[in-house]
Amino acid sequence: MLKCEYAVRGEIVIHAQRLQQQLQTQPGSLSFDEILYCNIGNPQSLGQQPITFFRELLALCDHPCLLEREETKSLFSADAISQATNILASIPGRATGAYSHSQGIKGLRDVIAAGIAARDGFPTNADDIFLTDGASPGVHMMMQLLIRNEKDGILFPIPQYPLYSASIALHGGALVPYYLDESTGWGLEISDHKKQLEDAQSNGIDARALVVINPGNPTGQVLAEENQRDIVKFCKNEGLDLLADEVYQENIYVDNKKFNSFKKIARSMGYNEEDLPSVSFQSVSKGYYGECGKRGGYMEITGFSAPVREQIYKVASVNLCSNITGQILASLVMNPPKAGDASYASYKVEKDGILQSLARRAKALEDAFNNLEGITCNKTEGAMYLFPQIHLPQKAIEAAKAAKKAPDAFYALRLLESTGIVVVPGSGFGQMHNPASGLRRRRSPIISRFKAFHEAFMAQYRD
Ligand SMILES: Cc1ncc(COP(=O)(O)O)c(C=O)c1O
């Protein structure tokens, strides 16, 4: 427990919450009037609107008597009404307030399985789907199942979303990092994986699984297909389970890259279920939907033996079931309106608008970073974040030492206290060798405030 750290909700965020309290109780006491939370991808907290069709459906499912009222026909779209009717028919008792099957409602899993099959072009089985309260509980569940003792290791990327290191630590396993290469746009070299694995083995670690995040957080890269094939082959050869975090599958902003699930890559390489145990994590929190607070997602589990699957089911059943709103949303994410549906046109406008806005803001922030003294930032291809490298002057590093802070935490605290912008120091993602800052993108005042802060900071500490 004590080894577990979670920087996206760590020291800087706790300090930000204190400042927010101060702004409420003593308005005007700080040099800014709002806290700008850029520490985690939480789009609706920053003004992103939910997809109308999804919310219409949720409202109708949660309050089914609306379906019997005449005025509902003028307030809700025709396909929301018909789909809500169908979804309710698949829920035992038509009740969103009832527990469901521990893997989730079968009718919704069927829809998700069909969505995955349409996405990948390979068959998918609804029995392989476990609905979860977001990707995080699914990750915890897998770590709990995989880790027996402190000698069981999990390979995970650096820089990484700290859910992985936190979860491995919580479940008492060994962290086996592999490194993404900033100089090649956060690509990976399978020889590095091999070396890290061998080092771990020579220390008595039994590596059980490899985590890959694609598109990446915090680094924003979309893996090249060749890299994906290398990972699949590596896991197969080394007998590692593949844990693929695919929560940003809708967030790709470059024309020359597209999302390929690891299952699709494995199947197109000729590997079948029995060749490679793998898990794909998906969530309703990201993409264009951004429904983080609704807590929904799923794991698609393939290639595990029947006795292992029984244990996975047992752990899921100890949690009873995931929340039903999240389950419905997960089915909508994998089966959104199609051309010809009544809501399609408005759904498409909303979806495209959100994704274009995310892409525009990513580029604006990337350009702003690369035009500032001492900052370099790779091109962002996907996800919701930028991971710039900030070369701090020696004087700033000494000031950090005097304040008993790591240089990147010192910078992030100064940024927060001057502007109200909350970022995560690079070390929170495991990038210890340089003071980088995981700065999340948001609407434009961020850029001007950040720029003014950085220029003043450099003027104060320039060597
Ligand atoms: C890579 C990645 N995986 C998983 C999660 C967890 O998401 P949730 O539990 O909301 O589905 C996040 C959240 O930011 C993430 O960035």
Rounded to an integer, what distance in angstroms lies between the CA atom of residue 137 and that of residue 458? 42
* Helix (H/G/I), strand (E/B), else coil: 349: helix
Q: Name the nearest CA neighbour of 170 among 146, 203, 204.
A: 146
Query: How many Cα atoms within 13 Å fall on the side-chain side of residue 327?
Result: 29
Count CB atoms within 10 A of the CB of residue 311.
Answer: 13
In a structure prediction context, what are the per-residue pLDDT tens digits for the chain, which is 463 residues long?
877 776 666 788 999 999 999 999 999 999 999 998 888 888 998 889 999 999 999 999 999 999 999 999 999 999 999 999 999 999 988 999 999 999 999 999 999 999 999 999 999 999 999 999 999 999 999 999 999 999 999 999 998 888 999 999 999 999 999 998 888 888 888 989 999 999 999 999 999 999 999 999 988 899 999 999 999 999 999 999 999 999 999 999 999 999 999 999 999 999 999 899 999 999 999 999 999 999 999 999 999 999 999 999 999 999 999 999 999 999 999 999 999 999 999 999 999 999 999 999 889 889 999 999 999 998 889 998 889 999 999 999 999 999 999 999 999 999 999 999 999 888 876 664 445 455 544 455 889 999 999 999 999 998 8
In a mutational test of the pocket of ligand 1, which residue from 283, 291, 440 has the highest number of ligand atoms less than 8 Å from its CB?
283
**Contact assessment for residue 353 and residue 336, using Cβ atoms and an 8 Å cutoff:** no
Count CB atoms within 10 A of the CB of residue 338.
Answer: 10
Atom of ligand 1 nearest to the CA of 217: 1
CB 297 near ligand 1, within 6 Å:
yes
Element (H, E) at 302: strand 297-302
CB 212 near ligand 1, within 6 Å:
no
Rounded to an integer, what distance in angstroms lies between the CA atom of residue 228 and that of residue 224? 7
Distance 224 CA to ligand 1 centre (A): 21
Atom of ligand 1 nearest to the CA of 285: 10
Distance 264 CA to ligand 1 centre (A): 21
CB 291 near ligand 1, within 6 Å:
no
CB 425 near ligand 1, within 6 Å:
no
Structure-token pair, residue 382: 């996907």
CB 163 near ligand 1, within 6 Å:
yes
Residue listed under structure tokens 């789907």: 129
Would you list the DSSP string of 205-263? -EEEEEEEESS-TTT-----HHHHHHHHHHHHHHTPEEEEE-TTTT-B--TT-----HH
Distance 247 CA to ligand 1 centre (A): 7
In a mutational test of the pocket of ligand 1, which residue from 247, 327, 358 has the highest number of ligand atoms less than 8 Å from its CB?
247
Distance 290 CA to ligand 1 centre (A): 11
Count CB atoms within 10 A of the CB of residue 19.
Answer: 17
Q: In order of start, what are the domains of the chain with their CATH numbers?
A: 7-34+355-461 (3.90.1150.10), 98-334 (3.40.640.10)
User: Which protein residue's CA is at the shortest distance from atom 7 of ligand 1?
Assistant: 135
Structure-token pair, residue 59: 């409202």
**Contact assessment for residue 210 and residue 193, using Cβ atoms and an 8 Å cutoff:** yes
Rounded to an integer, what distance in angstroms lies between the CA atom of residue 399 and that of residue 77? 59
Distance 236 CA to ligand 1 centre (A): 26
User: What's the CA dihedral at 210, 214, 220, 225 to 10 degrees?
Assistant: 110
Mean pLDDT of the chain: 92
Would you list the DSSP string of 95-119? -TTS---TT--HHHHHHHHHHHHHH
Atom of ligand 1 nearest to the CA of 383: 16
Q: How far is CA 155 from CA 133, 147, 244, in A?
A: 24, 12, 12
CB 330 near ligand 1, within 6 Å:
no
The whole-angstrom distance between residue 117's C-alpha and the CA centroid of its chain comes to 22
Beta sheet of 206-213, edge-to-edge order: 129-132, 297-302, 278-283, 241-245, 206-213, 152-158, 174-179
Distance 383 CA to ligand 1 centre (A): 11
Per-residue pLDDT, 446: 86
CB 145 near ligand 1, within 6 Å:
no
Per-residue pLDDT, 110: 97
Distance 435 CA to ligand 1 centre (A): 24
Residue listed under structure tokens 């083995």: 201
Q: How far is CA 200 from CA 176, 187, 207, 208, in A?
A: 7, 22, 8, 11
The whole-angstrom distance between residue 272's C-alpha and the CA centroid of its chain comes to 27
Q: Name the nearest CA neighbour of 94 among 65, 127, 131.
A: 65
Atom of ligand 1 nearest to the CA of 295: 10
Distance 215 CA to ligand 1 centre (A): 12
CB 213 near ligand 1, within 6 Å:
yes
User: Which protein residue's CA is at the shortest distance from atom 14 of ligand 1?
Assistant: 41
Per-residue pLDDT, 181: 86
CB 245 near ligand 1, within 6 Å:
yes
